[in-house]
Amino acid sequence: MKPSRLASYLPFVVVGLAALFPLLDNVYYMQLLTRVLIMAIFAMSLDLLVGYTGLVSFGHAAYFGLAGYALALMGPKYEAVSLWWSLPAAIGVCALFALITGTLVLRTRGIYFIMVTLAFAQMLFFVFHDTKLGGGSDGIYIYVKPEMLLGDFKVLDLENRDHFYWLALILAAGVYFFLRRVLGSNIGRALLGIKVNEHRMRALGFPVFRYQLASFTLSGGLAGLAGYLAAVQYGFVNPEILSWHQSGAVLMMVILGGMGTLYGPVIGAFAFVMLREVLSNQAWFGSWAGHWQLAMGSIIMLVALYMPRGLAGLFVKPVVTEAEEEAEDE
């Protein structure tokens, strides 16, 4: 089960190489990679639910979008807000919302869970779409990016693309290593146990609901981290960022990369963002580029049918699923 020495160093190597990317001085690709990193955080947060706790949420965009709105509504309009408090506050708002919705949605299982998470996300969509709270369907602009000051010293200048890229990289790497530790701890083992056999976990004395709620809350908070960064990158928020298409896209990233692994969602986010970029490239596909979702939808269906373990599954065949297959054959 232990990963080889080389493989355990690989994440550090990848992060190190990625940190050098701004040296290439390619603005277009760097913005794209920043987007990949943000989506990787988002996808990892969902994988915590889908791949490690066995809860298929189809409303994860709610927490992603909520953090963006939290940022837009918290700060003064034409002045920079400090990242030191606005980021934790945005994450906190999302975690709190996840805690509240979690106590409700976790009363359901399976198909119900999928529908109810979607419905609650849609409720939030209507809150921002129909009321004036968040500027209605137009959304809100974030004119000034948050600042990171230590005394008078600017730690990172987020108006600078390179700096913002590094921030996204640091946070994505941080989330990766954080989740790796958490999932290797007792709570991580318990969550996997719940995914595999919830009933037996309960019979063994685990308060299953509390574990699931903890996972749901943490997942919502991390999705909020991603949403905060996305809002900073775009410079505006509108109801689209918490639409169910966003929830579908992030689920696709998790499955495409390979759920139940932490690097899977990262690979999935990379593949998805790049795929979208390629398919909507007018130079290559002409007028068909406008209909890129036709190809994307077809690819999603093919992945669902023929690649259930995602890209990660092409390289590593997990022991776990082999055993499951054998068990099914009996």
Partner 1 sequence: MDLAFFLIQLLNGLQYGLLLFLVASGLTLIFGIMGIINLAHGSFYMVGAYLAWSLSSLTGSLSAAIALAIPLTVVLGMGLERLLFRHLYQRDHLYQVLLTYGLILVFEELRSLIWGDDVHGVAVPELLNYSIPLTENLSYPVYRLAISTVCLLLAFGLYFLIQRTRLGMMIRAGASNREMVQSLGIDIKLIYTLVFALGIALAAFAGMINAPLSSVFPNMGGGVLIICFVVVVIGGIGSVKGALIASLAIGLAETFGQVLVPEISGMIVYVLMAIVLVWRPQGLFGRA
Partner 2 sequence: MSEPNSSLTSNQLPAAGGDPGSLRSQALGDRAAPASTEPILFTRALTRHFGGLVAVSDVSLTLHVGEIHVVIGPNGAGKSTLTNLLSGDLPPTSGEVMFEGRNIAGCASDEISRRGIGRSYQKTNIFLPFTVFENCRLAAQSRRPHALRIFHRAERYTEINRKAEAAMAAAGLGHRADRVAATLSHGEQRQLEIAMCLATEPRVLLFDEPLAGMGPHESQRMVELIQQLSANHAIMLIEHDMDAVFALAHRLTVMVNGEVLESGTPEEVRSSPAVQLAYLGGEELLHE
Binding site for partner 1 (CB under 8 A): 50, 56, 58, 104-105, 107-108, 110-112, 114-116, 118-120, 122-123, 126-127, 129-131, 244, 248, 251-252, 255, 259, 291, 293-294, 296-301, 303-305, 308
CB 232 within 8 Å of CB 164 = yes
Nearest approach, Cβ of residue 308 and partner 1 (Å): 6
Task: Identify the residue whose tokens are 């550090």.
Answer: 12
Binding string, residues 163-182; x marks residues near partner 2 by CB under 8 A: ------------------xx
Q: Which does 133 bind (CB under 5 to 8 A by kind): partner 1, partner 2, none?
A: none
**Is residue 187 a contact point for partner 2 (CB under 8 A)?**
yes
Nearest approach, Cβ of residue 249 and partner 1 (Å): 9
Count the Cβ atoms, other than its own, within 10 Å of residue 321: 13
The helix/strand/coil state of 236 is strand
Amino acid letter at 191? L
Between 109 and 245, name the residue whose CB sits nearer to partner 2: 109
321: enclosing H helix or E strand: helix 319-329
Between 302 and 320, name the residue whose CB sits nearer to partner 2: 320
Between 297 and 308, name the residue whose CB sits nearer to partner 2: 308
How many residues are listed for the chain in this entry?
330
Nearest approach, Cβ of residue 124 and partner 1 (Å): 9
**Is residue 321 a contact point for partner 2 (CB under 8 A)?**
yes
Q: Which does 202 bind (CB under 5 to 8 A by kind): partner 2, partner 1, none?
A: partner 2
Dihedral angle over CA of 170, 243, 247, 140, nearest 10: 0
Going from the C-alpha of 12 to that of each of 2, 15, 78, 91, 328, the distances in angstroms are 17, 5, 38, 26, 38
The helix/strand/coil state of 107 is coil
Among positions 190, 230, 250, 271, the unique one binding partner 2 when judged by CB under 8 A: 190
Among positions 17, 20, 110, 186, the unique one binding partner 2 when judged by CB under 8 A: 186
The site that binds partner 2 (CB under 8 A) totals a number of residues, namely 31
- CA gap 91, 98 in Å, rounded: 10
Between 22 and 313, name the residue whose CB sits nearer to partner 1: 313
**Is residue 319 a contact point for partner 2 (CB under 8 A)?**
yes
**Long-range contacts: 274-277, Cβ < 8 Å, 24+?**
274/32, 274/36, 275/299, 277/32
Binding string, residues 209-228; x marks residues near partner 2 by CB under 8 A: --x--x--------------
The helix/strand/coil state of 260 is coil
Q: Which does 94 bind (CB under 5 to 8 A by kind): partner 1, partner 2, none?
A: none
Among positions 5, 6, 78, 199, the unique one binding partner 2 when judged by CB under 8 A: 199
- CA gap 330, 327 in Å, rounded: 6
Task: Identify the residue whose tokens are 């359901």.
Answer: 108
Nearest to residue 183, comparing CAs of 261, 259, 269? 261
**Is residue 288 a contact point for partner 2 (CB under 8 A)?**
no
Output the CA angle 70-75-80, nearest 5 degrees: 130
Nearest approach, Cβ of residue 132 and partner 2 (Å): 40
Nearest approach, Cβ of residue 305 and partner 1 (Å): 6
